[in-house]
């Protein structure tokens, strides 16, 4: 298996629409397995083919609590319910986190690597990761869902920037964390796996310039 190079903004391939996969053959399976290896190597929870330079509708996902990666070919979200605020990062946008709205629950269909039809019902992190990765197939980045530049965080500007590198994989009870004034941060897209606590949101501010730079391309 090969570790592939992950494209980052402003690489224009991240803005293009991926093509449907007509036939699930060995080349697709090999790409999928290389993407899984690349996702592991990067410590991510998901990766979409355009992020490794392939405009094909193929994503891989592995949530923190799961033992095996999922390979989803031609994934389509067929239903979205509810809305929730989440924090999100992306391996193609290194060093940043954003606060955006995602669905609470989604339903999706896809094809497995053996060509079987799959139907999925997802909530929480799984729903978020699915929406994030399917967005990549349409050239959409989480940056497009930001409502304001204040919703984007430059991690290098965090006072405790060092601390942000040890993400906790354990998912704590969200209610309990709220009562302690902590916030759950999901590094969903693909960045590091898991969850970090950020106690002081006041330091989580990025400049307008950061956002402009990121939105280019």
Q: Of 79-87, 145-153, 190-198, 207-215, which part binds Ni ion (CB under 5 A)? A: 190-198
Token code pair at residue 161: 């920037």
Least distance (Å) from Ni ion to the CB of residue 136? 6
From CA 61, how far away is CA 190, in angstroms rounded? 9
Question: How many other C-beta atoms lie within 10 A of the C-beta of residue 90?
Answer: 30
Is 44 a binding residue for Ni ion by CB under 5 A? The answer is no
**Nearest Cα to 35, choosing from 20, 19, 21, 52?**
52
Work out which of 32, 42, 71, 90 binds Ni ion, going by CB under 5 A.
90
Strand ranges, E, within the chain: 46-48, 58-61, 70-81, 84-88, 96-102, 105-111, 117-123, 152-154, 184-186, 195-197
Question: How many other C-beta atoms lie within 10 A of the C-beta of residue 143?
Answer: 19
Token code pair at residue 152: 């984007």
75 or 189, CB closer to Ni ion?
189
Q: Of 72-80, 83-91, 151-159, 162-170, which part binds Ni ion (CB under 5 A)? A: 83-91
10 or 115, CB closer to Ni ion?
10
26 or 216, CB closer to Ni ion?
216
Work out which of 34, 54, 190, 193 binds Ni ion, going by CB under 5 A.
190
Q: Of 14-22, 62-70, 88-96, 150-158, which part binds Ni ion (CB under 5 A)? A: 88-96
Angle, alpha carbons 12-129-131 (nearest 5°)? 65
| 34 touches 26 (CB < 8 A) | no
154 or 189, CB closer to Ni ion?
189
Among residues 54, 88, 131, 133, the one annotated as catalytic is 133
| 121 touches 174 (CB < 8 A) | no
Q: Tell me, yes or no, if 159 is annotated catalytic.
A: no
Is 189 a binding residue for Ni ion by CB under 5 A? The answer is yes
42 or 198, CB closer to Ni ion?
42
Q: Is 68 exposed, middle or buried (0-12, 13-18, 19+ CB in 10 A)?
A: exposed
Least distance (Å) from Ni ion to the CB of residue 191? 8
Least distance (Å) from Ni ion to the CB of residue 44? 8
Least distance (Å) from Ni ion to the CB of residue 122? 16
Token code pair at residue 171: 């998912």
Least distance (Å) from Ni ion to the CB of residue 205? 22
Q: State the catalytic residues.
A: 133
Summarize as ranges the residues that interact with Ni ion (CB under 5 A): 90, 189-190
């Amino acid at each position: 298996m090969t570790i592939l190079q992950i494209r980052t903004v402003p690489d224009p391939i991240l803005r293009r629409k991926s093509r449907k996969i007509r036939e699930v053959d060995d080349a697709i399976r090999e790409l999928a397995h290389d993407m899984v290896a690349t996702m592991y190597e990067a410590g991510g929870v998901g990766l979409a083919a355009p992020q490794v330079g392939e405009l094909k509708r193929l994503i891989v996902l592995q949530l923190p609590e799961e033992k095996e990666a999922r390979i989803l070919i031609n994934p389509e979200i067929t239903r979205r319910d509810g809305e929730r605020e989440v924090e999100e990062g992306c391996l193609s946008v290194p060093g940043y986190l954003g606060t955006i709205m995602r669905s609470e629950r989604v339903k999706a269909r896809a094809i497995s690597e053996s060509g079987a039809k799959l139907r999925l019902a997802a909530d929480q992190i799984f729903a978020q990761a699915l929406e994030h990765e399917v967005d990549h197939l349409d050239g959409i980045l989480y940056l497009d869902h930001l409502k304001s530049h204040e919703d984007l965080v430059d991690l290098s500007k965090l006072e405790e920037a060092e601390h942000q590198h040890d993400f906790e994989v354990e998912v704590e009870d969200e209610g309990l964390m709220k009562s302690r004034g902590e916030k759950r941060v999901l590094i969903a897209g693909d960045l590091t796996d898991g969850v970090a606590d950020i106690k002081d949101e006041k330091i989580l501010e990025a400049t307008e310039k950061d956002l402009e730079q990121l939105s280019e391309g």
